[in-house]
Chains A and B, each alone.
Chain A
Amino acid sequence: MAIRHLLHSCPICGLVGGVRAGERGEACTGCGTRYRRGRGSRIRAQRARADDVVLTAAEWMQRLVDLDDLRFATGEPPPEPIALREAGDQRPVRGAQGELLGWVETFGAPRRGLLSIDRDALVFHRDDGHSLAVPLLDVTAIQASSTALLVKRRARPVLALGFVSGSLRLWEHAIRLRIRDLYRESGRGEILDFQPTICTRP
């Protein structure tokens, strides 16, 4: 995980998706503010020609627009470099006496490319030219994990989207927002929850 996943926008200049990973650590592409972890849950913002600002994560979050109220100027976030992994088979996990405890998915090798949101699909353009489209109405759940955003498709294996330099939370929000809109437009109802599966109110 990284600070950019928490700070979906730059708290100093307000640029949505501005905090990104780069060669010099995590910094805003708009105002150049660098963000580093301080003591405990504090985050230090280092600005050129200005004093550092050190606040707790909760205090930084209070300076940001609440994710639920966040909208994108262009309607959707710009394409984002990701590493996509697709789950393969599920394997059983057994206890000491051989009893079945549960099932675990195994993920394939990561494939690099660009992720974008169309009107009604998530599109992954692989670096080798192939592309994969996931209709948003086929998405049954979205879950942020430690290193990736998990997207479950109806009757298809789960996809793990690892964000190379962008904010996982921002994309989680963007995908949820689009799915909410599509559900309303298609008369499927108002989404109440995305986890463990999307559930709606008619």
Chain B
Amino acid sequence: MSIAQRDVMPLAATPVAREADAFYHFCRWLPRTFWRLSAGLRIEGLHNVPATGPFMLVANHQSNLDPILIQASCPRIVATMAKSSQFNVPLFGPWIRRLYAFPVRRYQVDPQSVRTALRLLATGRAIAIYMEGERTWDGRMLPPRAGTTRLVLKAGVPVVPCAIRGAYDAWPRWARTPQRRPVTVAFGPPLSFPRLDHRDQREIALPDTSARLVTAIQALL
């Protein structure tokens, strides 16, 4: 399906049930409304977001705006895997924790972040992961991190590919401040992957799974 054919649904028409957390939904509404009015925010493929049950949102990473605008666009509550250093920032750290973010130490294998992700999925929640592991420098997608793919294969839940476009123009990694530029958040059809309990199985399935995820995200870009 081409981008032009893909339907664009207003949030009011989404069939996805809202989970109860007034503060979270206020924090979704605020940036969504601000960015929509001040710069332009387009949300595509909302019908691809599962109405219930666990899923993983796997996205590209263009800018610091991504977690804000992706969470603002997704009607389900999403717990985002975020780099650990952000939790030390005064006010911002407690705020993202309140919005269900959980930390990952990116310079080491972090088993606790994997345990937290699996626990959230086991309780029916949705989690978001940026498969490149860091923001792009020049706008082109970086190679996927193997850890994301391993988690996908370990969890065995539906994976919703998500692409954010325009966020790099709004706030590239090398710029100090954002500019108001139109951004599009696109959700693709959920992909299913088998749950593989053994490390050897996961390692065998790693290249194909990574390639499928990258292809699915690139198709939305």
Q: Chain A: residues with CB nearer than 8 A to chain B?
A: 1-3, 5-6, 37, 39-41, 56-58, 60-61, 93, 95, 99-107, 140-146, 150-152, 158, 169, 193, 195-197
Contact: B139 with A101, CB < 8 Å? no
Contact: B112 with A102, CB < 8 Å? yes
> Given A6-B138, A102-B112, A195-B133, do A150 and B107 touch, yes or no (CB 8 Å)?
yes
For chain B, give the interface size range. Answer: 35 or more
A20 to chain B, nearest CB (A): 14
5 extra interface residue pairs, beta carbon distance < 8 Å, beyond A57-B139, A93-B97, A140-B108: A1-B176, A58-B139, A99-B119, A101-B112, A140-B107
* Bound Cα distance from A141 to B140, whole angstroms: 23
Near A by CB (< 8 A), chain B positions 93-124 give 97, 102-110, 112-113, 116, 119
* Bound Cα distance from A101 to B99, whole angstroms: 13
Contact: B172 with A197, CB < 8 Å? no
* Bound Cα distance from A150 to B138, whole angstroms: 21
| Interchain residue pairs with CB less than 8 A apart (28) | A2-B174, A3-B174, A5-B174, A6-B137, A6-B172, A6-B173, A40-B170, A40-B181, A41-B139, A61-B138, A93-B97, A95-B97, A101-B102, A102-B102, A102-B104, A103-B84, A104-B84, A104-B85, A104-B87, A105-B105, A106-B88, A140-B107, A143-B106, A145-B85, A169-B137, A195-B133, A195-B145, A197-B108
- Cβ of B66 within 8 Å of any chain A Cβ, yes or no, is no
Contact: A104 with B175, CB < 8 Å? no
Instruction: Give a binary string over B147-173; 1 marks a CB under 8 Å from any A CB, 0 the rest.
Output: 100000000000000000000111011
Q: Which residues of A contact B119 (CB under 8 A)?
A: 99
- Cβ of B83 within 8 Å of any chain A Cβ, yes or no, is yes
* Bound Cα distance from A122 to B103, whole angstroms: 28
Contact: A6 with B102, CB < 8 Å? no
B141 to chain A, nearest CB (A): 12
> Given A41-B168, A41-B169, do A101 and B85 touch, yes or no (CB 8 Å)?
no
- Cβ of B146 within 8 Å of any chain A Cβ, yes or no, is yes
- Cβ of B44 within 8 Å of any chain A Cβ, yes or no, is no
Q: Which 10 A-B pairs have the closest CB atoms?
A: A40-B169, A102-B103, A6-B174, A101-B102, A141-B107, A152-B107, A104-B84, A104-B87, A61-B138, A143-B107
* Bound Cα distance from A173 to B133, whole angstroms: 17
B126 to chain A, nearest CB (A): 15
Q: Which residues of A contact B108 (CB under 8 A)?
A: 140-141, 152, 196-197
Q: Which residues of A contact B179 (CB under 8 A)?
A: 39-40
